[in-house]
Amino acid sequence: MFFSSFFFVLLAQTDKNNVDRASEIISEITTFKIIQGIVIVAIAYGGIWTTAKLIDWLSEKVPLRLRLPIKQSIPFLRAFILGFAGVFLINLFLNLSPNNVLALTGTVAVALGFAFKDYASSVIAGIIGLFEVPYQVGDRVKIGEHYGEIITYGLRGILLRTPNDDIVTIPHNKLWTDAIANTNKGNVEAQTVVDFYLAHEVNVDRVIQILYRVAYTSKYTQLKFPVVVVMEEKPWGTHFKLKCYPIDARDEFIYKTDLIKRAKQTFAKYSLTYPALPTRQLDS
């Protein structure tokens, strides 16, 4: 309580000092300047929209290996356009002498500190993310409980498309606190792991051979990458994991379906059994 009162007093004092300078900082506002400002905002908005559309279109036209590098240029271009527009607007409406800048930063810092703390944190994390690259557009990431493909890298956060086609917005400031699992890290290929559970009695050599064959003969499989089958023993059966890569990471879910469908067809042909669920005798 004491601390919050102290902060409000501090804020009031800071504001009082700065009010006198406000007229110095803000330049004379004319109708022409307002029109100019609107035009700059419209151009920046149009520029961001056009660039995003153009790059999206271009990334689908170029060879697959160039798709992601092209898509990943969107956040940089967006930041560039926004930066330019910001500088123009500041130049238009503010008189930026060294004293004014000091006063302004003080006010802005206080305002950000209290009102837009999380927003500012996300924006800063987003800018740092551009250079640290924990994720990029086109990557398949798991943040918290959400998994999917990053379709947009915005100023404040990213948009994630989940397997159910839901769009999830995740702020960049998750970078500070959460673990981020990135499956493909800028590559078009992402490893796909498919789980199969079979009974203890099955011929494991046969199962492993079938799983290799299923992966090698799928039209989606990237044959330049390895295919691996690993197994694990469970009390109720044997767990097989088929690890392989699709040619295009966007096919991940349809690829999984194809692998499961064809593996199950072959298991049925060789009468390979699935684990039986443990049953419990009910009291009559």
Q: Is 252 in the site for another protein (CB under 8 A)?
A: no
Question: What's the CA gap between 152 and 136, in Å, rounded?
Answer: 9
Stretch that binds another protein, among 98-106, 135-143, 159-167, 247-255 (CB under 8 A): 247-255
Q: Is 33 in the site for another protein (CB under 8 A)?
A: no
Q: Is 253 in the site for another protein (CB under 8 A)?
A: no
- Shortest CB 50 distance to another protein, Å: 22
Stretch that binds another protein, among 87-95, 118-126, 135-143, 254-262 (CB under 8 A): 254-262
Residue 192: which residues within 8 A CB-CB, separation 6 or more? 243, 244, 245, 246, 252, 255, 256, 259
- Shortest CB 35 distance to another protein, Å: 43
Q: Name the strand (E) or helix (H) holding 103.
A: helix 98-114
Q: Is 74 in the site for another protein (CB under 8 A)?
A: no
**Residue selected from 59, 107, 218, 238 as contacting another protein according to rule CB under 8 A:** 218
Question: What's the CA gap between 122 and 108, in Å, rounded?
Answer: 16
Q: Is 206 in the site for another protein (CB under 8 A)?
A: no
Stretch that binds another protein, among 48-56, 71-79, 200-208, 222-230 (CB under 8 A): 222-230
Indicate if the alpha-carbon torsion angle 214, 220, 223, 226 is positive or negative: negative
Nearer to another protein, 16 or 224 (CB): 224
- Shortest CB 261 distance to another protein, Å: 7
Helix (H, G, I), strand (E, B) or coil at 188: coil
218: which DSSP letter? -
Q: Is 205 in the site for another protein (CB under 8 A)?
A: no
Please, are residues 124 and 132 in contact by the beta-carbon 8 Å criterion? no
Q: Is 214 in the site for another protein (CB under 8 A)?
A: yes
How many other β-carbons are positioned within 10 Å of the β-carbon of residue 45? 13
Nearer to another protein, 65 or 117 (CB): 65
Question: What's the CA gap between 79 and 100, in Å, rounded?
Answer: 25
- The angle at the Cα of 130, spanning 103 to 134, to the nearest 5 degrees, equals 130
Bridge partners for 10 per DSSP? none
Nearer to another protein, 160 or 263 (CB): 263
Which residues here bind another protein, judged by CB under 8 A? 63-65, 188-189, 210, 213-214, 216-220, 222-224, 247-248, 251, 258, 261-263, 265-266, 269
